[in-house]
Amino acid sequence: MSGVLPAWTTDEGTARATTLFEQTFGAAPLGVWAAPGRVNLIGEHTDYNAGLCLPIALEHRTFVAVSPRADRLVRLVSAQEQSTVREVRLGDVAPGTVEGWPAYVVGVAWALEQAGHSVVGFDVAVDSCVPYGAGLSSSAALESAVAVALDDLAGLGLGGDDAGRAALAAACVRAENEIAGAPTGGMDQSTSLRATTGNAVLLDFTPGLDPVDSARHVPFDLADAGLALLVVDTRAPHALVDGQYAARRDACERAARTLGVTSLREIADMLGRSESPADELPAVLAALDDDVRPRARHVVTEIGRVGTFVGLLDAGDVTEVGPVMDASHASLREDYEVSCPELDLAVTAAREAGALGARMTGGGFGGSAIALVRATDIAAVQDAVLAAFADAGYTPPDLLVAVPAAPAGRAG
Ligand code: GLA
C-alpha cells in the first residue's frame, strides 16, 4: 500500500476498536472483526439488473469490537462520534425505526433473525479507515464486519465457506435496503464478504444462482504487469439515499417491463450472442421512451464490457483494459448520467498524465474514480490530478493505491 490514505494494519485497527470499546463499556471486548471497502473495476449499476460486475476488496477496513449481552439490547459507539452511545432494542428494529449509522449494525442482526437465526444483544465499538462517503462502500464494510462478528458469536458457521458468506451478504443487503433504506444492489456486501486476496471477483447477480456460480475469482496482479490502480476520492458530496439511485433503478425496471424481459441482463445476453451487438442495439431498444433508452443502453453495454474486461484478464492482457474503462466512464456520464464535474476531471486529468484508462467507480454523483497507471507513473498521475483539482478550485482529493485484499473476518 502506498499513497496518501494508508490502510491500517490488523493490529492497529484492532487496537483502536478495542480501546474505544474499553473506554466506552468498561471491559474488554470478546473479539474484534473487520471487513473491507471495495472498488469496482468494471460493471457499474449492473448488480440490480441481474448483471455482472468485477470489484476488488480494499486493504481499508472497518473494525468492530464486540461482546455479546445476555439481553436484547444493542449499545453502539463509533470513533466518529465518541461521546454518544446509541442504544437500540432488537425487538424495536423494523423498517423506518432506526436513524443514521446504527441502522447498518442492528439491521444486520434483524436480517439474520428474519432468515431464521437466533441473535442476542451486543455491545459494539466501531472504528474505520474506509473513507466515509467516498463511494468505497464504508456502509457495506460496517454491515459485513457486524455480520461476521454475529456469525461467530451466535455460532452460525456461515463465515466458514463461500455459500455461507453469500447468505451473510444477503442479510447485509436486506439491512441496507430495508432498515437503512438505501435501495442498493448486492455488489458491495458480496465483495466485502466474498472477495479474496490477489483477485478480483466476478459477481453474477442472476437471481437464484448457486453461490458456486455467482462468484468467480479472477487473478488481478497489477504489480506483476508493472501497473497500479490509483483511486481518487473526489470528496464531492455523495449520497445514495437521495432519490437519484432509486430513480435509475426504477428506469431499468421500466425498461425491462417494456421490453418484455425480467431484467436487462436478458437483453445483454441476447446481444452477447449476436454477431454485431452494437449494430443491433438501437433496434432492440427502439420501443423504449427517450428518457429510459439511454439508461438501458448503459446497463446492456456495461454488462458486455464486464465480459470484455474479464476476457482480457483471462488472456493475460491486463494492459489492454484501459479503453474498456474509458468506454464505461463515457457510458456512465452520457447515458446513465451519474458522473459529476469532479469525477470527470479526475478521469480526464489522469488520462492526460498517462493513465491507460480511467473511470468513476461505485454509485456516482460524487465519490471516487479509478485510474489504471504504469507503476512508474503513479506520482506523476497523482500530481496531475491534484493540480487539476487545485486549478478548478475544488476541494483537494484523497488518493490511494488499491491492491486486491482479504474479505471480512476475525481480526483479534
Ligand atoms: C452502489 C451500490 C451498489 C451498486 C453501485 C453501482 O455502490 O451500493 O449496489 O449498484 O452503486 O454499481
Please indicate whether residue 291 is annotated as part of the active site. Answer: no
User: What pLDDT, on the 0 to 100 scale, is given for residue 81?
Assistant: 87
Q: Which amino acid is at 365?
A: F
pLDDT of residue 82: 74
Ligand 1 pocket test, pick from 38, 41, 45 with the greatest ligand atom count within 8 Å of Cβ, gives: 45
Q: Which residue's C-alpha comes closest to atom 1 of ligand 1?
A: 363
Q: Which of 30, 46, 38, 29 has the alpha carbon at shortest distance from 7?
A: 38
pLDDT at 3 over 80: no
For residues 155-183, give the mean pLDDT: 97
Confidence band, pLDDT 50/70/90 cuts, at residue 180: very high
Phi, psi values for residue 385, rounded to 5°: -65, -45
> Among 184, 192, 302, 336, which residue has the most ligand 1 atoms within 8 Å of its CB, making it the best to mutate?
184
Residue 135 CA: nearest ligand 1 atom is 7
126: cell is 466501531
Marked catalytic residue, from 123, 127, 188, 377: 188
- DSSP class of 290: T
Closest residue to atom 8 of ligand 1, CA basis: 184
Confidence of residue 2 (pLDDT cuts 50, 70, 90): very low
Return the pLDDT at 83. Answer: 79
Residue 185 CA to ligand 1 center (angstroms) comes to 6
- The yes-or-no verdict on residue 193 having pLDDT over 70 is yes
For residue 268, what is the enclosing H or E element?
A: helix 264-272
pLDDT bracket for residue 240 (50, 70, 90) = low
Residue 373 near residue 356 (C-beta atoms within 8 A)? yes
* pLDDT interval class at 181 (50, 70, 90): very high
Q: How confident is the model at residue 1 (pLDDT cuts 50, 70, 90)?
A: very low
- The CA distance from 221 to 170, in Å, is 29
- Please indicate whether residue 185, judged by its CB atom, sits closer than 6 Å to ligand 1: yes
Q: What is the pLDDT of residues 312-331, one digit of tens each?
A: 999 999 999 999 999 999 99
Which sign, positive or negative, has the C-alpha torsion 46, 51, 54, 58? positive
pLDDT in tens, 75-121: 999 998 877 999 999 999 999 999 999 999 999 999 999 999 999 99
Q: Is 156 in the pocket of ligand 1 (CB under 6 A)?
A: no
Q: Residue range 364-373: average pLDDT?
A: 96
Residue 250: in which H helix or E strand, if any? helix 244-259
Residue type, 387: A
Are 302 and 331 within 8 A, CB to CB?
A: yes
pLDDT band at residue 239 using 50, 70 and 90 as cut-offs: low
Residue to mutate (ligand 1; options 136, 172, 187, 298; most atoms within 8 A of CB): 187
Q: Which of 26-30, 55-59, 271-275, 316-320 has the lowest mean pLDDT?
A: 271-275
Q: Residue 20 pLDDT > 70, yes or no?
A: yes
- 143 touches ligand 1 (CB under 6 Å): no
User: Nearest to residue 334, comparing CAs of 284, 301, 294?
Assistant: 294
| CB of 151 sitting under 6 A from ligand 1 | no
Whose cell is 449492473? That residue is 46
Mean pLDDT of the 45-60 span: 98
- 336-361 tens-digit pLDDT: 999 999 999 999 999 999 999 999 99
Cα-to-centroid distance, 19 and ligand 1 (Å):
33
CA angle centred on 170, ends 166 and 173, rounded to 5°: 135
Assess whether the C-beta atom of 189 lies below 6 angstroms from ligand 1.
no
In sign, the C-alpha dihedral spanning 206, 208, 213, 215 is positive
- The finding on whether 188 has its CB within 6 A of some atom of ligand 1 is yes
Taking the whole predicted model, whether its pTM rises above 0.75 is answered as yes
| Ligand 1 within 6 A of CB of 45 | yes
Cβ(363) to ligand 1 under 6 A?
A: yes
Checking if the pLDDT of 17 tops 90, the result is yes
* Cell digits of residue 219: 487473478
